């Protein structure tokens, strides 16, 4: 989970916080996050590929990870989901945010890596995780270095898992289980 918004933020009235206030918040209450697992689907809706970004993760490593970011004050969850997808996948990705507001799982990130297996050194975040089919052309933007697509069996392979941190490898498996494609 990285969130470049946070550095750039200034206006509290629109949900942006100064770095100091964001620090205070993060030290005291859980943050609301969304995680989006981008997927390619075939004509019948079967997931054929999972998209993984290459970027600087919350722990400072360069890792493969999903789309992730916080929900701003006043923002609807699906607006946040769309905003982060567009920010990370580019304006032509055409993400299909599902009509159902229920996430496929709730990911609880803690500063203590033992707490839940999902880890964020900066904060306790409660993240609503969605599988988001994308139909358009993706070009990773802003801080992402790369976006690669993996078939389900590769996405959960030891090689790809070794490139993920913070529990994102487990999140991919939960997402694939949700769509019935866990190898």
Nearest distance from C-beta of residue 1 to its own copies, angstroms? 15
- Using CA atoms, how far apart are residues 75 and 58, in angstroms rounded to an integer? 23
Q: Does position 102 bind its own copies by CB under 8 A?
A: yes
Residue 90's nearest CA partner among 121, 53, 63 is: 53
Strand 105-110 relative to strand 125-133, pairing: antiparallel
DSSP character at residue 95: B
- Using CA atoms, how far apart are residues 122 and 167, in angstroms rounded to an integer? 15
Angle (CA) 19 12 100, round 5°: 100
Q: Does position 92 bind its own copies by CB under 8 A?
A: no
What is the size of the binding site for its own copies (CB under 8 A)?
A: 58
Q: Which is nearer to its own copies, 60 or 101 (CB)?
A: 101
Q: Does position 56 bind its own copies by CB under 8 A?
A: no
Judged by CB under 8 A, which stretch of 15-23, 61-69, 138-146, 159-167 contacts its own copies?
Answer: 15-23
- Using CA atoms, how far apart are residues 73 and 174, in angstroms rounded to an integer? 28
Q: Does position 108 bind its own copies by CB under 8 A?
A: yes
Residues that bind its own copies (CB under 8 A): 12, 15, 17, 21, 24-25, 27-32, 39, 41, 43-47, 70-79, 82, 96-106, 108, 110, 115-116, 124, 126, 128, 131, 133, 170, 173-174, 177-180, 182
């Amino acid at each position: 989970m990285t969130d470049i918004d946070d550095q750039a933020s200034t206006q509290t009235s629109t949900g942006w916080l100064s770095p100091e206030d964001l620090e205070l918040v993060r030290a005291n209450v859980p943050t609301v996050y969304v995680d989006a697992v981008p997927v390619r689907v075939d004509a019948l809706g079967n997931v054929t590929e999972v998209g993984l970004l290459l970027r600087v993760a919350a722990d400072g490593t360069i890792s493969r990870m999903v789309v992730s970011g916080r929900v701003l004050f006043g923002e609807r969850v699906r607006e946040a989901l769309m905003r982060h997808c567009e920010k990370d996948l580019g304006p032509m990705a055409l993400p299909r945010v599902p009509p159902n507001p229920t996430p496929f799982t709730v990911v609880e990130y803690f500063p203590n890596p033992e707490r839940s297996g999902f880890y964020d050194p900066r904060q306790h975040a409660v993240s609503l995780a969605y599988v988001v089919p994308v139909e358009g052309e993706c070009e990773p933007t802003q801080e992402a270095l790369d976006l690669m697509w993996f078939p389900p069996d590769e996405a959960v392979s030891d090689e790809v898992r070794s490139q993920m941190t913070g529990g994102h490898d487990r999140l991919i498996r939960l997402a694939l289980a949700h769509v019935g494609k866990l190898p």
